[in-house]
Amino acid sequence: MPPHLHVLLLSGLLLSSLHTPPCSATIADGDILTAGQALSVGDKLVSRNGKFALGFFQPQPTAGISKSINTTTTTLPGWYLGIWFNKIPVFTTAWVANRENPITGPEMKQAQLKISRDGNLAIVLNNNTSSKSIIWSSTHIIVNRTTGSSSTNTTTTTSALLMNNGNLALLMASNNVVLWQSFDYPTDVGLPGAKLGRNKITGLNRRFVAKKSLIDMGLGSYSLEMDTNTVLHIRRRKPPIVVYWSWSSGQLAYKLIPLLNELLDMDPRTKGWLKPEYIHNNEEDYFTYTSLDESASVFVDIDITGQVRLNVWSQPKMSWQTIYAEPSDPCNLHDVCGPFTVCDGKSIPFCGCMESFSPKSPLNWDAGDPIGGCVRNTPLDCAAGKQKNTSPTDMFHPIDGVTLPLYPQSVDDASTQSDCEEACLHDCSCTAYSYNGNRCSVWHGELRSVNQNDGIGIYSENVLYLRLAARDSQSLRKNNKRKPRVVTTIIIVSFGLLMLMLVLMIWIFKSKSCGAPLYGSQGSDGGIIAFRYTGLVRATKCFSEKIGEGGFGCVFKGMLGDQTAIAVKRLDGARQGEKQFRAEVSSIGMIQHINLVKLIGFCCEGDQRLLVYERMLNGSLDAHLFQSNATVLNWSTRYQIAIGVARGLCYLHQSCRECIIHCDIKPGNILLNESFVPKIADFGMAAIVGRDFSRVLTTFRGTVGYLAPEWLSGVAITPKVDVYSFGMVLLEIISGRRNSPQVSASNSDHGDYFPVLAINKLHVGDVRSLVDPQLHDDFNLEEAERVCRVACWCIQEIESDRPTMGEVVRAIEGLQELDMPPMTRLLAAIIECSDVASIK
């Protein structure tokens, strides 16, 4: 899973702005509110384990918000009744009662929580339970068991209990039956044991709705809920209504839950004590999770910007940390920052105004709600409402390396960038243009969903030219003129330091046989390291121990200073090496998964292009399957390797921000660690496909014997090329032999083409004869038949007939049945040729 799933959570800073008054009077029974008792401002119920508290609180504005409030007529934030983590120093709410009806002004002094006359929990004013003074009430209707009618005075029959899990329950006093509970009416947070989903019998829909801002607990723009078709999705509640992310019941059960379990078991902060579940039966459909560590503090929430996060409290760091987020990058949400903004998921905060723009609502912006976007500081010189500008004075400011805004319009007659600029400049409604790949695009009105790229992805060369008034353009140029003076000073100082370092490095080089100490820099978020070439020379002992060689360069054994075993790939050839370098860093460099080899870092100095990986002590799958002196893998290991590689490919295709096609799946690119866990390696041919596209053209082409038929025709490829290659690898895992014999062309025999033999044996029920004889019949026949059936589906000639990798994972694990695969036309033709040859 990607590293960004393990960054420090923003809520530690943001939620600290919430304020609760000091406790002035605690309810006598601690965790229980009974008839006749009242909870006022300053009082609180505390769960028996001390973990949660219930009381009134007021969001406290930050310094930026306070400044905005003081300069406007906006009133201070209202008061809410809520549940929060009692022992966490960063004030964090878990539930809010009156989120759409905050208490303001002097009324707060009169507000109380008590049991109302009808037996419900109610926030009332003036020590009075009339309907006019009720701010909020629970929804249960107390029924008289004798008469069958609703009771009018049942205050003595119910009490409220704040439970150890953070659930506020309204109980029948006589038997403690739960009549109403806060877990059934969540706000934006789900605690362990709470449910997210529907009750099919009662129609109860438990959903999360984000709050409006840090000071407004009201219903915000995003929700996480399960619809009547049992599809869990994140969507925008307000126009435009957009569904950003969805999981069907099957995907929840067979994809999301296994993925979460795998991630949680990999993370030492959650390993063994946090378990997600999906329950699907005749009564309910819901997602939940349990915590086996009562001392841990954890919650799931949907934040103001629509990102769903699993948060765990870190006592050493005194902050909340994220374990999982969906989407992993908040900028993936549609128009998350509003018009005229640039979203950068790696910055804090991630929303920023474009040049010469300011937040439309500084109050909302400071409160964590940027959806209103930004407005111009200076109006355009082009006359308002004028469609054609006869004497344009506006200018354009370039914004580099971004995704282009939504809703572009093409200008077909603009054959150069100058033509494109003129077309926009002479139209007063045009606010920006882009000229990329001989294509001119212009935008009218607001610019939305502009995201900053990381510099190495497919959008790194995009430039958006933003229209600004001439006065703004002049101020930008003045600012830029001041920069060279500072830059010149920095260059002089840096040059002096560089010369000093150069002398030092020469001295070190002369005093030792090879290289210099390893230097590198690693971000605080655990990202990849930028190594120095001299450091890698030393780590690899002058590249003296070669452990592999490929079409783009050689791989060398190395060791870092902390005794981390590494494999260093040194790429050859400036052009091809550069392409492979960019492909690997932009794909595997930004993601993590247990079945993907970990890229530790890279070196990019002059013409040197090197990639540093974790070293796999058991080498490649290729060696264990086909070399006579290698360790023979038993069936259990082979089966787990098949599942692991399938999971890794499924992650690349379906779970990354953008689909990644590996393009060269083969045993040589599957590495095995000390426990024989498989790791997919060598992403030098990888292709990245945006989620808005289904195909991609690539100049790279995989390895003969694993190439899908459609690739040979030169068409744009889909992830199904990896599925085909994986099918061939499965056949080799089963048999221990290559899918095609390594013989000369003059002595070729089509009958030896193993896929033909495999599908024939599968059809006649003789899979046993296909299994590697080195196993000596020590294998699970049911698993072997299952893997063989999946393999034969994967190598179907027509790509639409092949399963997805998600389906492959479920099929290999026995969670999904596959029919008998047909014989493809290509394999049938090979058989026919073989029969003709045998007759002759």
Mean pLDDT of all residues in 369-378: 91
Do residue 8 and residue 48 come from a single domain?
Answer: yes
The mean predicted confidence, pLDDT, of the chain is 78
What's residue 657's pLDDT? 67
Lowest mean pLDDT among 143-152, 463-472, 569-578, 819-828: 143-152
* Tokens linked to 48: 């028996």
CATH at residue 250: 2.90.10
Instruction: Give me the residues paired with residue 199 across strands.
Output: 284
Report the 3 state secondary structure along 480-535: HHHHHHHHHHHHHHHHHHHHHHHHHHHHHHHHCCCCCCCCEECCCCCCCEEECHHH
Q: pLDDT at residue 54 above 90?
A: yes
What's residue 289's pLDDT? 95
Q: pLDDT at residue 365 above 60?
A: yes
502 domain residue, yes or no: no
| CA–CA separation, 23 and 1 (whole Å) | 43
Instruction: Dump pLDDT digits (tens) for 247-260.
Output: 887 778 887 888 78
**In contact, 816 and 793? CB cutoff 8 Å:** no
Do residue 363 and residue 381 come from a single domain?
Answer: yes
Give the Cβ contact number of residue 715 at 10 Å. 11
The CA–CA distances, whole Å, from 514 to 369, 543, 574, 682 equal 55, 10, 25, 28
| CA–CA separation, 762 and 739 (whole Å) | 16
SS3 assignment, position 463? strand
**In contact, 794 and 730? CB cutoff 8 Å:** yes
Quick one: which of 564, 461, 552, 567 has its CA closest to 522? 564
Domain boundary among 160, 185, 210: 185
493 domain residue, yes or no: no
506 domain residue, yes or no: no
pLDDT band for position 499 (cuts 50, 70, 90): low
| CA–CA separation, 717 and 710 (whole Å) | 8
Known binding residue 569? Answer is yes
500 domain residue, yes or no: no
> Taking the model in full, what pTM does it have?
0.55
Stretch (H or E) spanning 825: helix 825-839
Do residue 748 and residue 634 come from a single domain?
Answer: yes
488 domain residue, yes or no: no
**In contact, 610 and 572? CB cutoff 8 Å:** no
Do residue 365 and residue 307 come from a single domain?
Answer: no
Total count of domains within the chain: 5
570 domain residue, yes or no: yes
What's residue 343's pLDDT? 92
Q: pLDDT at residue 263 above 50?
A: yes
Amino acid letter, 206: R
Mean pLDDT of all residues in 190-209: 94
Percentage of the chain beyond pLDDT 90 is: 35
Contact partners, residue 761, CB within 8 Å, separation at least 6: 767, 769, 770, 788
What's residue 836's pLDDT? 42
CATH at residue 581: 3.30.200.20
Domain boundary among 569, 595, 614: 614
| CA–CA separation, 770 and 151 (whole Å) | 75
What's residue 513's pLDDT? 30
Do residue 143 and residue 74 come from a single domain?
Answer: yes
Quick one: which of 84, 156, 83, 174 has its CA closest to 114? 156
**In contact, 446 and 432? CB cutoff 8 Å:** no
Do residue 701 and residue 804 come from a single domain?
Answer: yes
Instruction: Give me the residues paired with residue 395 across strands.
Output: 468
**In contact, 536 and 610? CB cutoff 8 Å:** yes
Domain that holds residue 86: 1-185
Pairwise pLDDT comparison (485 vs 180), residue with the higher score: 180
Do residue 606 and residue 690 come from a single domain?
Answer: no
pLDDT band for position 690 (cuts 50, 70, 90): low
Report the 3 state secondary structure along 74-100: CCCCCEEEEEEECCCCCCCEEEECCCC
Q: Helices then strands (H, E): number in the chain?
A: 17, 45
Instruction: Dump pLDDT digits (tens) for 144-174.
Output: 433 444 444 444 589 999 999 999 999 987 8
Which burial class, exposed, middle or buried, applies to 91 when counting CB atoms under 10 A from its CB (0-12, 13-18, 19+)?
middle
| CA–CA separation, 627 and 631 (whole Å) | 9
* Tokens linked to 261: 């379990």
Do residue 323 and residue 363 come from a single domain?
Answer: no
What's residue 24's pLDDT? 37
512 domain residue, yes or no: no
pLDDT band for position 496 (cuts 50, 70, 90): low
Do residue 200 and residue 345 come from a single domain?
Answer: no
What's residue 147's pLDDT? 40
**In contact, 740 and 719? CB cutoff 8 Å:** no
Instruction: Dump pLDDT digits (tens) for 96-125.
Output: 999 999 998 777 888 999 998 888 999 998
Mean pLDDT of all residues in 222-238: 87
507 domain residue, yes or no: no
Of how many residues is the chain composed? 840
Pairwise pLDDT comparison (277 vs 500), residue with the higher score: 277
Pairwise pLDDT comparison (560 vs 80), residue with the higher score: 80
Mean pLDDT of all residues in 710-716: 72
Amino acid letter, 395: M
| CA–CA separation, 415 and 447 (whole Å) | 24
> Residue 130: left (phi > 0), alpha (psi -120 to 50), or beta?
beta
Instruction: Dump pLDDT digits (tens) for 755-792.
Output: 888 888 898 899 999 999 999 999 999 999 999 999 99
What's residue 134's pLDDT? 87
Return the DSSP state at 331.
G
Do residue 547 and residue 680 come from a single domain?
Answer: no
Do residue 822 and residue 772 come from a single domain?
Answer: yes
Per the annotation, the verdict on 216 as an active-site residue is no
Stretch (H or E) spanning 396: strand 395-400
Q: How far is CA 55 from the centre of its chain?
A: 35
Do residue 628 and residue 558 come from a single domain?
Answer: no
Q: pLDDT at residue 305 above 70?
A: yes
Percentage of the chain beyond pLDDT 70 is: 75
CATH at residue 787: 1.10.510.10
Quick one: which of 444, 606, 600, 460 has its CA closest to 530? 600
What's residue 152's pLDDT? 41
Q: pLDDT at residue 837 above 50?
A: no
Of the residues 394, 427, 664, 722, which is catalytic? 664
Report the 3 state secondary structure along 606-672: CCEEEEEEECCCCCEHHHHHHCCCCCCCCHHHHHHHHHHHHHHHHHHHHCCCCEEECCCCCHHHEEE
Quick one: which of 704, 665, 671 has its CA closest to 686? 665
Instruction: Dump pLDDT digits (tens) for 590-611.
Output: 677 889 988 888 888 877 888 8
